[in-house]
Structure 1
Amino acid sequence: MLPSLLDGSRRAPAAPRASRLFWIFLTLGLLGLSTDVLAHAVAQGDKGYIQEISGVNLIAFIYLGAKHMVTGYDHLLFLLGVIFFLYRMQHIAIYVSLFALGHSTTMLLGVYFNVGINSYIIDAIIGLSVVYKALDNLGAYQRWFGFQPNTKAATLVFGFFHGFGLSTKIIEYDISPDGLIPNLLAFNVGVEIGQLIALAMILIVMSFWRKTDGFFRHAYTANVAMMSAGFLLIGYQLTGYFFA
């Protein structure tokens, strides 16, 4: 985390025009992402498949879990925010494990006990998690309120909400009770596999980016773009809640 990112007087000189344009297009791209992609939506084809099958289908549910994580941009944005300023693998492992623990717990228990939350509300909270982490990376809480929230606890708590987001969708699709527990466990394994794949890709990109002279200069813009995407998701979901 870099509290000085909010201090314009300490920021590095302006980036070249090409770099500024790159970050402008990145922000517009994040804002233009389909809200169905940013939310915990399950593809229509996958929805039909889940509704039709019964019995134990481990491989299929592992695939569906991995696909959900790799294509779930709300997950990926939050993970990007979590590891943005983490350099040591043991620190990354701790935070990612906390997120996985929270996500897995509420996803499994939510489906098993049929505990659903209004999908608009839960997805708005997931958007809030992206905003929270972007502000945390910008050092906003220390600057505005004079204290730093417990980042590990926040990662675990928001992991719970991310898991509820998925369990709510699965409940809506009336998954067969025949083979429910093995299939849910397989789905969760797939989610963790997908998370590792996504994390590996993010870390590869971040490792190259951090070696450039422009990393700290562009970190402010990157986190503002993440925060904007989070606000977009919040606004869309709350609009759906009040007007759908």
Structure 2
Amino acid sequence: MAVLVAAAAFLGSAQPASAHGFSSVAYVDVGDGGDGRLRTKLQLEYDLYVVSAADAGHDDALFRAGTAAFDAGDAQARAAALNAHRKAAVDYVRERFSVTSQGRGCTPEQVGDFTTGRRQGVPYADLVLDWTCQERGVDHEVRSGLFPDAEGYVTGTRTIVTYDVDGRTGSAALDAAHPAFSTHQAWYERFWEFFRLGTEHLLTGTDHILFLLALIAGSRRLREVVLAATSFTVAHSVTLLLAALGLVDVPSAVVEPVIALSIAVVAGWYLWRLWRHRERAIDLAETGGGHFGLDRAGRTRLAVVFCFGLVHGLGFAGALGIDSAFSWTLLWSLLVFNVGIEAVQLALIALIFPVLVLLRHRAPTAGLRATGAISAGVFIMGLVWFLQRTFSF
């Protein structure tokens, strides 16, 4: 049990940034540019792009013009700042993003001017590049090192790529650990990329793990935790799909604080019931008695978990930067992403819940205190994160 308490303390010590904050998502569409060329349309978070490109190119004028346009909320001025300093802006991408064909590098050339739009409620810059390849074959590799952690502005940048090239369509998610992919990859390789992404997101999404830990600690029977986990799964699958279809879009300024609040509410629910029934709970624990209904998975608890699961689904959607309807190809990838999340969730339940059951059976009083301690730690961290996220947006 000490291991579980230590794990909860470790997770609780993490900053909210480890879950969703201070990261960025870049988008790339790869298609046929005509005349044997490939065309890529890159969408990059505007303020991050300006700061990174200005720093890399030592272009103070780009920094001043770009940040002034960003602060003023002027879309035309944002595009004008990039077009006036296109060398620094394009060079930044050329040095960190590449396309190869048949193992040989392709040469990029900008098509048109920079334009700007919005994704996830924030400004994005649009850059179109045509790539001339000496040998145009069916095996194209796309590699992205955009906005790396080493630059110090964000952590965990993810590049979502969709492609329709040479009769092959698909999608990929690139990050620092997996910076490249081939358009000639097999279906199971594409499956694995998004399955891995889902597992990594839940494992590194501390708030989602703490929410699940609160559900496990507050459940006394296997039936309770299974029903709660199922309710959570169904709910977040619904909103992830709705977001991917472009039917729902809730700002992260609302989603992230509510996710933190859900952690505190679920953990606090158990603590409140434990305090309310403390005398009977202690008596039954010390005498080794049966269940006293403290953790009965009733309709109200399931309804609360389901409602918060809907919000967590929006958090999962935010992790992939979903704010508009995706293609059906990418929807399949999102389904696989969700399967990866569920695999980790089931693994955590299978690892933690039997330990709690064993402890409650062999040392009922200690088990009761341990689950109370875990829930208290999760409750405190949920409140702290709620306040941090509420006042940081």
Provide TM-score, normalisation by structure 2.
Answer: 0.48
TM-fit CA distance, 1:222: 2.2
- Are 2:307 and 1:157 aligned? yes
Choose the corresponding residue for 1:32, options 1, 10, 13.
13
- Are 2:180 and 1:47 aligned? no
- Are 2:275 and 1:125 aligned? no
Contact 1:99–1:159 under 8 Å retained in 2? yes
Structure 1 unaligned runs (5+)? 1-18
Q: Root-mean-square deviation (CA), in Å?
A: 3.2
Structure 1 distance, partners of 2:222, 2:12, is 31
**DSSP 3-state at the match of 2:201:** helix
**DSSP 3-state at the match of 1:139:** helix
Choose the corresponding residue for 2:385, options 211, 233, 236.
233
The letter of the residue matching 2:382 is G
TM-fit CA distance, 1:187: 1.1
Contact 1:117–1:168 under 8 Å retained in 2? no
Residue in 2 that maps onto 1:8: none
Using the TM superposition, name which of 105-114 and 216-225 deviates more. 216-225
Change in Cα spacing, 1:199 to 1:46, as seen in structure 2 (3 Å) is farther
Structure 2 unaligned runs (5+)? 25-154, 164-169, 172-189, 277-297
- Are 2:340 and 1:194 aligned? no
Residue in 2 that maps onto 1:215: 367
Give a deviation string over 1:190-237, Cα, whole Å, max 9, x none: 111121122222224423443435222333332221111101211221
Structure 2 distance, partners of 1:70, 1:27, is 13
Structure 1 distance, partners of 2:203, 2:372, is 25
Choose the corresponding residue for 1:108, options 241, 244, 248.
241
Q: Which has the higher strand share?
A: 2
The letter of the residue matching 1:215 is G
Highest Rg: 1 or 2?
2
Contact 2:243–2:323 under 8 Å retained in 1? no
Residue in 2 that maps onto 1:90: 223
**Identity across matched positions, percent:** 25
- Are 2:197 and 1:64 aligned? yes
Contact 2:244–2:325 under 8 Å retained in 1? no
Number of matched pairs? 214
TM-fit CA distance, 1:116: 2.6
Structure 2 distance, partners of 1:41, 1:174, is 21
Q: Which has the higher helix share?
A: 1
The letter of the residue matching 1:230 is G
Give a deviation string over 1:75-117, Cα, whole Å, max 9, x none: 1211121122323322222111110000111011112216332
Structure 1 distance, partners of 2:8, 2:197, is 29
TM-fit CA distance, 1:137: 0.5
Structure 1 distance, partners of 2:343, 2:8, is 28
Using the TM superposition, name which of 226-235 and 33-42 deviates more. 33-42
The letter of the residue matching 1:216 is L
